[in-house]
Amino acid sequence: MIEQRRRFQGGRHPVWMEEAFVCMIDQRALPHEEILLRLGSYPETTAAIRDMAVRGAGSIGVAAGFAMAQAALNAPASGFLEEMERAAAHIRLARPTAKNLFYAVDRVLAAVKETSSPEQARQRARMEAQAVAEDDARMTQEIAKAGLPLIPAGEAVLTHCNAGWLAYPGWGTALAPIYLAHEQGIRVFVYATETRPRSQGAKLTTWELAQAGIPHALLADTAVGFTMRKGEIGMVIVGADRIAANGDTANKIGTYSLSILAESHGIPFYVAAPSPTFDAECPSGDQIPIEERDEREVLEATGRSAAGVVESVRVATPGIRARNPAFDVTPAKWITGFITECGIVEPQPQAIAQFLDKRRHALLR
């Protein structure tokens, strides 16, 4: 694995492919350092997904698709399909909650199986992985348009974790309508929650918003209720990692609590997500697998010291244990609507099924 420092300006694609290398912004280093990773094999790319060098549902999916392309490039002609199945199984284990990962792996694998030779399969895998990335970027543009009319005039928008272009290539999901509003000269102010324990809001969302010049402030996770009660938040927009057939939604830990606060204060609570994030085979949120991560993420904090050194320090009592669920599930009843590439979808099973059916027919044409 090769690392090199580089400035990223104007880019909205955190993961891409150059020849046989998967390249990505190392999101673990932001906002203190901007590092580019160049990964030469699918096990390396899978490790980067697992270790959260790349994170966010869409970016995980794009990285997984490119990992499948790497597997195809390196698989021997003898036993080619068997090797692709092994690679797919390996990549699927990287992050269990994000539906986009499984969508991308299955899409590239299906494309490979339609070919008649390993050489043709290698070309097709690369093309299909790139198509996943380009389709995702187009869908976020449509999400931006669908969500734009919802932006409240004169009131702040609250977002949780990071659902901008670092998390979903193109315009992002939750931040997509905000980016479009800012581009069109519409005044918008954003509260970004810090999102403990990994602080994706503090480290990534504020980095994105600062680069774009969008007015914003960082808000402690525990200060949301206070701020809502004062009438300072007009809308909540979050992303999603998996949406069940009934509308229950898995997103970064803390989203469930925000939905309850929004409901009790009468504040619209929207989930921005394209069709690959919906899981028609998952009946409800009870069946969504919830990833539990290393307890050190809770027991320690990482930042830049006064001496300019990025380091981790322990913030908890020595010797204690911690639990670290990475996601929680928000019930559909507390979601106002889904902002999708096809417009606003109601959070109920029939509307979701009709939306997904519409998307399937569009892809078949």
H or E stretch at 134: helix 118-147
Six token digits for residue 1: 């694995």
Size of the chain in residues: 365
Angle at 148 between CA 211 and CA 136, to 5 degrees: 70
Q: What does the DSSP 8-state code read for residue 231?
A: T
Domain segments of the chain as ranges: 2-138, 142-364
Asked whether this chain's domains 2-138 and 142-364 adopt the same fold, the reply is: no
pLDDT tens track for 311-332? 899 999 999 999 999 999 999 9
H or E stretch at 156: strand 156-159
Separation of alpha carbons 164 and 118, rounded Å = 37
Q: Is the pLDDT of residue 33 over 70?
A: yes
Q: Which residues are catalytic?
A: 241
Residue 279's DSSP bridge partners are 244
Six token digits for residue 318: 């020595």
Residue type for position 107: R
What is the pLDDT averaged over residues 254-269? 98
**Predicted local distance difference test score (pLDDT) of residue 5:** 36
- 142-364 folds as Rossmann fold (3.40.50)
Separation of alpha carbons 293 and 273, rounded Å = 24
Residue type for position 172: G
Confidence of residue 363 (pLDDT cuts 50, 70, 90): low
Q: Is 15 left (phi over 0), alpha (psi -120 to 50) or beta?
A: beta
**Predicted local distance difference test score (pLDDT) of residue 359:** 87
Q: What superfamily in CATH does domain 2-138 come from? A: translation initiation factor eif-2b, domain 1 (1.20.120.420)
**Predicted local distance difference test score (pLDDT) of residue 10:** 38
The structure's pTM equals 0.93
Q: What does the DSSP 8-state code read for residue 189?
A: -
| Closest to 268 measured CA to CA, from 184, 348, 149 | 149
Separation of alpha carbons 189 and 153, rounded Å = 10
Pairing of strands 327-330, 249-252: antiparallel
Q: Is the pLDDT of residue 7 over 90?
A: no
pLDDT tens track for 69-85? 999 999 999 999 999 99
